[in-house]
Amino acid sequence: MERAGKASVTHRLYGLLEQIAPPLVSVVIALAISSLIIWVVGYDPVRAFSALFDGAFGGPRQIGETMLRSTPLIFTGLAVAYGFRAGLFNIGAEGQLFMGGLVAAWLGVALAGLPTMVIVPIILVAGAAAGMAWAFIPALLKARVGAHEVITTMMFTFIARYIVSWLVTGPLKAPGQIPQTVQLPAESMLPKFTDILPELGTGRAHLGFVVGIALAVVVWWVLKHTTLGYEARAVGFNPWASETGGISVSLTTVKSLCLSGALAATAGVTEVIGLHGRLFDQFSAGFGFTGIAVALLARNNPLAVIMTAMLFGALSAGSGTMQLQADVPSKVVFIIQGLVVFLVAAQQLAVWLLRPFKARGGVENA
Amino acid sequence: MDAALLEVREVTKRFPGVLANDKVSMSLESGEIVALLGENGAGKSTLMNVVYGLLSPDGGELYYEGHPVKVRSPRHAIDLGIGMVHQHFMLVEPLTVTENIVLGNEPTKIAGVIDFSTARKAVAEISKRYGLAVDPDAVIRDLSVGMQQRVEILKALYRGAKILILDEPTAVLTPQEVRELFKVVRSLVDEGLAVVFITHKLEEVMAVADRVVVMRDGRVVGEARPSETDMAGLARMMVGRDVVFRVEKKPSVRGETILEVDGLEVLDERRLEAVRGMSFDVCAGEVVALAGVSGNGQTELVEALTGLRRPAAGSVRLSGKDITHASARQSIEAGVSHVPEDRHRRGMVLEFDLAENMILGDHRLEPFSRHGVMKPTEIARVTEERVAAYDVRTPSIRVLGGALSGGNQQKLVLARELGRDPKLLIAAQPTRGLDVGAIEFVHQQILAERDSGKGVLLVSLELEEVQGLADRILVVYEGRIVKEFAAGEASDEDLGLYMTGGGGDKFAESTEVSVKGLGT
Ligand SMILES: Nc1ncnc2c1ncn2[C@@H]1O[C@H](COP(=O)(O)OP(=O)(O)O)[C@@H](O)[C@H]1O
Ligand SMILES: [Mg+2]
C-alpha cells in the first residue's frame, strides 16, 4: 500500500535537488541561448561572458557594484516571494518601493542633525511602514470584497509614481533645473562599506546589502518558525482548510500583503539613503518588477532570493564592462535576463498547467 | 473449449518504488459481470489501464478472443471493443449528450459535415436498447453526475464495446443512482456484453457481480462467486485478516448535555434556507447520527456548528456556553472538533507535511507554539506519537499530506481532531471513500471517543454506518429533522422512507413512490 520507505535524509536531499535543479537549468539554458545570439550577431561569446564576469566579480570594486545592484532586488524579491507564499501576487512592489523612497527622502531631511545610528533605523522602519500602508488598501479590498490584488496593487503603483513625480517637480523640488529633492545630509545616509573600512575598496556598495541578507534570513525564519508564517503558507496552499483550522483567511491576507509591502518599500529606502541621497522620478530601474523574476527564479524561497538577486545584480553590474571590453551592447544583458525570466516562467507555467493532471492522479489513488 | 473473451496472463507493471501489478492473471467471458475487488492501492486501476491501452505492461500478455494482442492505445482498445469509464469523466462539458457520444466517431454527410440527425437517431437507439434513458440534447454540464456517467457508458456502447470496464463507478453516486446503475449493468450483460466492475465495497460485489476477483498488494489473492461466499470471506481475502463489520458497541452511558441546538436556521450560498429550524441536543457519552440524503442541509448545519458559516437564526450552546456566533477558531478552542466531509478541501493541506497538518487549528497553542514562535521539536514529538497511535502508515512525518492514501489521510485528520481532546466531535461522512480496514478503524475511534465521555455528532449518508454507530438517529429532510429513532428502533427501510420525505401523514402521497424507489 505504501511507497517504498525512504530514509528522511535522502528524502530531503532529493527534495532540495528537485528544488534547485530546474532554476539552475533555466539559467544555463538562458546563457547558452544568449551565447548563440551573441555569436550569430557577430561577437565572440567567450569574450563577452568573460568580460561580463570580470565586470561583476573581477575585483573588489566590481564585487561592490554587484552587491549594490543586488540590494534593491533582494528586498523586492523577498516582497514578491512572501506574497506568493501566502497565495498573493504582489505585482505592485514598485509602488510600495516608491512610497518607501518618498518617506526616506522626507525623513532624511526632517531628522537631519540626529546621529546616523538614530536616523537610519527610524527611516528604515518608517519607510517600511509606508510600504505597509500603501499595500493595506489593496489588501483590505481583497479581504473585504475580493478585488484582485494584481489589479489593485498595479493601480496603486501608478498612483505612487505620479505622487512622487508631482512632489519632485513641485512641493519637494530642490532649487535648480532638475526635478529632484535636496541632497540628504551625510548623517542621514546608510554608510558605505568603505566608510567603515576604506581598504575594502568596494566602491558604492552600502550596508543596505547586509540589511537585505539579514531580512532574507528573518523572512525565512518567519515563514518556517512562526505562526504568522505558518498561517500565511496555509492560506496560500488551501484557504478552505485554513478556515476550517480556525485561521482567518482575510486577516492573513491583509497581514501578508502588508508585510510584502513593507519589504518592497525597504528597497526604495535603501536606494535613497544608501545610493542616491535624494529622490527623483527615475530612482528605481523597475526593481519592483524585476523582483517578480527574482522571486520566481528563487521559487519563493527567501534564502534563494539572495542568490537570484545577486545573479541579476551581477548581470547588471557586468554589462558595462561587456560593452567596453567585448564591444557587445550592454542591452544584450536584457536578453539574458529576459531569457532567464522566460524560461523560469515557462517552467512554472508548465508545472501550473500540469497541476490538474497531477491532482487528478492523486485523487484517483486516494 | 471456447477461448475467453479476454484473458490477462501474468501482467506485471512497475512504477518507481511500487510493484503495482505482480504477475496478475484473470479472464472475462461474454455475458458476465466480474467485480475487481481490492483496497485502495491494490492495483485495480493499473491493471485495467493496461487492458485499456493507457499503460504498457512491463511483462505478461493479453489475449482477446483467443488471440494475443498488444493494446497500444485507448483508441486501439476501442477498436478492439474494449471501453472504459474512468472515475473522472472525460466529457466535454459545454457540448450536448449526442455531441459527446459521437465525438471522434461522428457520422458525416458529404464534405465532412456532421450528420446530427443520424447521430441523434443512433444515440436514441442504443439508449433505448440498453434502457439507458437520457436526453440526447441536454448539455453535459447541466446533468447530474449519475447522468454524466450514463453518457460515458453510452459513449462506449456507441463505439461498439463488447467489454465495458467501470472504474469505481459508484464512488460518485447517490444510493438511488447506485441501484439504477446496477440495473443498467445487468441489462448490458443480458445483451451479451462483459463488464468489469472495479470496487472496494463488498456490498456492491454481493449485489451485482457474477464472479469476483480479489486483489491485494498488486497480486490476485483469490477468486469467488458471491453466491458461494459471504462478505466476511471476501473481506478477509481483500484485507488479509479478519474484519469486523459492526464494531462491538457497549451500551451508552449518557452524561450531561454537551451540545444544544435550538431553532437553528442557516442559509446556503444562494441565500436559500438550507437548515430550516433544527433543534436537538447531543449528550456526553452518546453518538447522535444525522441520517439523510445528501443536500438536505447537513453541510450547512455542520458549517454553522463549527463556526464556518453564520446562522441566520436560532442558537447553539456548548456545555451551556453560547457559541452561536463563534468563529471557527473560537469553536475549536471551545472544544469542538470537526472531521470535515471533504478531506482534501477542508480537512487538510495537501502541500503541508504530516507534522504541519497535525497542528492545524492548534498551531497557536502550547505546546506547539509560544508567543507566535513554533516549537519544532514538540510538534515533531506529538506528531510521531499520534501517527503511531492512530496507525497512520507513512515512511516519515516529513511526507506531504497529499502523498498519503485516503485512509491514512483520514487517520491523520482523526489523530489531529481527537488528539486535542475535544468535548464534542462532529464527524461528517468520516468514512467516505475509505476501504473496509480503514472504515473499521474510524468506527472504532468514534466509539472510543463516545466511551470516554465525549459527545459525537455523526453526519452520514450510509445507513449501515448510522445503524452501526448511533445511539440516537435524527433523520433530516429538506433542512428539518423529520424523525427521531432510538438505536435499533428503525429498519433501513424506515430510515429510507423518512430520508426521502415519506413517513409522516402529510407525505402520504409521496410515500408509495418512495417505498418502491427504495426496494432493495
Ligand atoms: N502513475 C503512477 N505513478 C506511480 N505510481 C502509481 C501510478 N499509478 C498508480 N501507482 C501506484 O500503484 C499502486 C496501485 O495503484 P492503483 O492501480 O491506482 O490502485 P487501485 O486502483 O487498486 O486503488 C499504488 O501504490 C499507487 O500508488
Ligand atoms: Mg483505482
HSE-up of residue B188 (Cα within 13 Å, Cβ side): 32
Same domain, B270 and B328: yes
Same domain, A271 and A298: yes
* Residue A275 within a domain: yes
pLDDT score at B134: 86
The residue whose CA is least distant from atom 7 of ligand 1 is B15
Question: How deeply is A223 buried, as exposed, middle or buried, from its count of CB atoms within 10 A (0-12, 13-18, 19+)?
Answer: buried
* Residue B301 within a domain: yes
Rounded to two decimals, the pTM is 0.75
Residues of B in contact with A366 (CB under 8 A): 40, 344, 405-406, 409, 433
pLDDT reading at B517 higher than 50 = no
Same domain, A69 and A176: yes
Q: Which of A11, A19, A238 to substitute to test the interface with B, most B CBs within 10 Å?
A: A238
Q: What is the CATH number of the domain that holds B127?
A: 3.40.50.300
Express each pLDDT in B155-203 by its tens digit.
999 988 999 999 988 877 777 788 889 999 999 999 899 999 999 888 8
Same domain, A35 and A151: no
Same domain, B204 and B234: yes
For the residues B268-289, what does the mean pLDDT come to? 93
What pLDDT band is residue A217 in, cutting at 50, 70 and 90? Answer: very high
Ligand 1 pocket: which of A360, A364, A365 to mutate (most atoms within 8 A of CB): A365
* Residue A56 within a domain: no
* Residue A50 within a domain: no
- Among B239, B270, B305, residue at a domain's last position: B239
Contact A231, A247 (CB under 8 A): yes
Distance from CA of A347 to the nearest CA of B (A): 19
Residues of A in contact with B405 (CB under 8 A): 1-2, 365-366
Same domain, A227 and A339: no
Same domain, A5 and A150: no
**Residue A18 in contact with partner chain B when CB distance is under 8 A:** no
* Residue A49 within a domain: no
For the residues A293-317, what does the mean pLDDT come to? 93
Average pLDDT across chain B, whole number = 88
Q: Are B40 and A246 a contacting pair at CB < 8 A?
A: no
pLDDT score at B319: 95
Express each pLDDT in B492-506 by its tens digit.
888 888 887 776 544
Same domain, A90 and A228: yes
Sheet strands (E) in A303-360 = none
pLDDT score at B503: 67
Same domain, B331 and B466: yes
pLDDT score at B77: 93
Same domain, B173 and B309: no
* Residue A273 within a domain: yes
Neighbours of B333 (CB within 10 A): 17
Number of domains in chain B: 2
Same domain, B396 and B467: yes
Which string of DSSP letters, residue by residue, matches A203-223?
TT-BTHHHHHHHHHHHHHHHH
Phi-psi region of B33 (alpha: psi -120 to 50; beta: other; left: phi over 0): beta
Same domain, B199 and B266: no
**Residue A5 in contact with partner chain B when CB distance is under 8 A:** yes
Q: Are B88 and A1 a contacting pair at CB < 8 A?
A: no
* Residue A29 within a domain: yes
The residue whose CA is least distant from atom 4 of ligand 1 is B15
Angle between helices A60-85 and A93-110 (to 10 degrees): 120
Of B346, B374, B394, the CB nearest to A230: B374
Angle between helices A60-85 and A302-326 (to 10 degrees): 140
For the residues A289-299, what does the mean pLDDT come to? 91
∠ CA B208-B213-B219 to the nearest 5 degrees? Answer: 150
Of A11, A228, A248, the CB nearest to B372: A228
Q: Which residue has the higher pLDDT, B41 or A240?
A: A240
pLDDT score at A359: 39
Record the cell numbers describing residue A3, joined without a space: 511507497
Q: Decide the pairing of beta strands B373-374 and B369-370.
A: antiparallel
pLDDT score at B331: 96
At B49, is the secondary structure helix, strand, or coil? helix
∠ CA B181-B175-B44 to the nearest 5 degrees? Answer: 60
Q: Decide the pairing of beta strands B18-28 and B194-199.
A: unpaired
* Residue B515 within a domain: no
* Residue B283 within a domain: yes
pLDDT score at A354: 56
pLDDT score at B24: 95
* Residue A55 within a domain: no
Same domain, A116 and A210: yes
Torsions phi, psi for B26 (to 5 deg):
-165, 165
**Residue A250 in contact with partner chain B when CB distance is under 8 A:** no
Percent of chain A with pLDDT over 70: 91
pLDDT score at B123: 86
Of A8, A226, A244, the CB nearest to B328: A244
Domain that holds residue B115: 6-239
Query: What is the enclosing helix (H) or strand (E) of B259?
Result: strand B257-267
Domain that holds residue A69: 61-327
* Residue A48 within a domain: no
Which string of DSSP letters, residue by residue, matches A16-35?
HHHHHHHHHHHHHHHHHHHH
Average pLDDT across chain A, whole number = 88
Q: Ligand 1 centre and the CA of B41: distance in Å?
A: 5
Q: Are A1 and B39 a contacting pair at CB < 8 A?
A: yes
Ligand 1 pocket: which of B18, B167, B198 to mutate (most atoms within 8 A of CB): B18
Same domain, A30 and A88: no
pLDDT score at A362: 34
Same domain, A105 and A144: yes
What pLDDT band is residue B23 in, cutting at 50, 70 and 90? Answer: very high
- Among B205, B239, B273, residue at a domain's last position: B239
Same domain, A164 and A223: yes
Number of domains in chain A: 2
Same domain, B265 and B149: no
Q: Which residue has the higher pLDDT, B336 or B437?
A: B336
* Residue B438 within a domain: yes
Residue of chain A whose Cα is closest to the Cα of B304: A244
Same domain, A271 and A150: yes
pLDDT reading at A216 higher than 50 = yes
Torsions phi, psi for A318 (to 5 deg):
-85, -15
pLDDT reading at B509 higher than 50 = no
Q: Which residue has the higher pLDDT, B331 or B463?
A: B331
* Residue B519 within a domain: no
Distances (CA, A) of A163 to A73, A97, A312, B104: 23, 13, 29, 59
Distance from CA of A127 to the nearest CA of B (A): 25
pLDDT reading at B400 higher than 50 = yes
**B42 ligand 1 Cβ < 6 A:** yes
Same domain, B30 and B105: yes
pLDDT score at B519: 35
Same domain, A241 and A306: yes
What pLDDT band is residue B248 in, cutting at 50, 70 and 90? Answer: confident
